[in-house]
Amino acid sequence: MNQKSDPFVVMMTIDRETSSVVLTRSDNKEAREPLTHPMFADTSLLARIHYSPPMRGLLAVTRNGDDIAFELPVRGSTDQLDHRLVVYLDQNMWRPVSEALQGGDAVSGEDLAAAEQLAEWVRNRRIVMPASAGHYYETTKWSVSDKRYSLGLTILQLSRGWQMRDPLQVREDEILEMFRCWKGEADSARASSVFTLAPNALHAPSRGVTPYTPPSDFSADDAFRLVSLTSASNYIDVMLDAEHLEPGPDTGWAEANQRFSDWLDVQDRDAQQKRRSIDVLLLDDFKRELAEGARAAGVSPQALQQWAEKQPMKGFGALPASGLYREMLHNRHLNKGTHWRRNDLTDMIYLSCAAGYADFVVCERHMREPLERGIRRLALPTKVFRRLSEAVSAVGDALQQRMPHAD
């Protein structure tokens, strides 16, 4: 005779309306406990959060009745992509997708079909469409509340918890691996897990963000589970908050690059000489990461000086994200009359990181052209498009070439 297993928790629900935690067992019995601390700010648009331990997933329900499902990370697993293709959309490409899926009137038939196909591939686990900190920054500062909500909802629903690791962290990882390769201790300077479900991956520690710390008496598994749930629910809550966020202060980056471009335009130098001048600018920008990466790799100050004297930029050709950023910087500064905008820094940093590691990137034309030139120079496999319909066609071809997928 089969012995029945003990009941176990299949669902945990945090309910805003009743201010309670509901635990549902496998025998359908429930236990309710009041929330001892308020979890929802007045501006939060979340109504309930469901967590299913057996399914390793989180479902958030908004006060408007919209559902957002997130995959959750597995402790100790370094790759949960499961052979899915990575499709990265620049911020301006998320808008037509959102308008199409939310029933906008001004959407073309091509964009509607493309958006619906992308959503279907996400649901069928054929692709992932990661969100980045750049998407959060651009979306949450939008002051039109209903459009901000629709856009944020679409990004959350299609990203399903997948994130692109902070490009500043990817830069640090690549530079560390570059020095390890230089010492003969590594074979590749590629960063790992750039597209990930790992908690708190959107922002690098160097940005000064302090992640949640679980109680010290939690087991390693329980601590990881709690950190993952806190990270995922926070990301959803921040993206959908009823109040928009104010843009950060102007760093002066665009003005500094404009002055450099204007100066370079009038110099009597050939392209290679100008490239060397741009590399000086780049090395100054990367000086902290280079110093910290060298120290972490065990490179002595004397050896670092030797590296700096022996064509240091040669190593950047092996760095997918940092190398692409360098190529984009070269291309824009070499193009006479370039006009620098404040958003160019965000676009270049996030797009170079995405194109260094994703399978497909969709972005606007003025970034696509320098990105494609850099991809060709570095011999990277990423395909870049400026129209959703073209990207979807290429993704479809790539999926057809793969082994049949059990939908």
Delimit the domains of the chain by residue range.
74-210+243-407
Q: What are the φ and ψ backbone dihedral angles of 271, each rounded to 5 degrees?
A: -65, -40
For the chain, give percent helix, strand, coil, nearest 5.
50, 15, 35
Is the alpha carbon torsion for 358, 75, 225, 58 positive or negative? positive
Q: Judge contact between 238 and 141, C-beta under 8 A.
A: no
Task: Give me the pLDDT at residue 110, please.
Answer: 87
Lowest mean pLDDT among 1-5, 96-100, 178-182, 371-375: 1-5
* Burial grade of 367 (CB within 10 A; 0-12, 13-18, 19 or more): buried
Q: In this model, does residue 226 exceed pLDDT 70?
A: yes
Task: Say whether 247 sits in a helix, a strand or coil.
Answer: coil
Coil, strand or helix at 84? coil
Burial group, residue 278, by CB count within 10 angstroms (0-12, 13-18, 19+): buried
Residue 54's SS3 state is coil
Question: Among all chains, which residue has been given the structure tokens 């690059």?
Answer: 257
107 within 8 A of 96, measured Cβ to Cβ: yes
Assess whether pLDDT exceeds 70 at residue 2. no
pTM of the model: 0.93
pLDDT at 36: 84
Determine contact, residues 161/47, Cβ cutoff 8 Å: no
Kind and range of the H or E run holding 15: strand 9-15
At 85, which amino acid appears? L
- The answer to whether residue 198 scores a pLDDT higher than 50 is yes
* pLDDT, tens only, 324-378: 999 999 999 999 999 999 889 889 999 999 999 999 999 998 899 999 999 999 9
Instruction: Work out the pLDDT band at 260, boundaries 50, 70, 90.
Output: very high
- Residues 48 and 15: beta-carbon distance below 8 Å: yes
Q: Residues 11, 24: contact at Cβ < 8 Å? A: yes
- Judged against a pLDDT cut of 90, whether residue 202 lies above it is answered with yes
Q: CB of 52 within 8 A of CB of 11?
A: yes
pLDDT at 60 over 50: yes
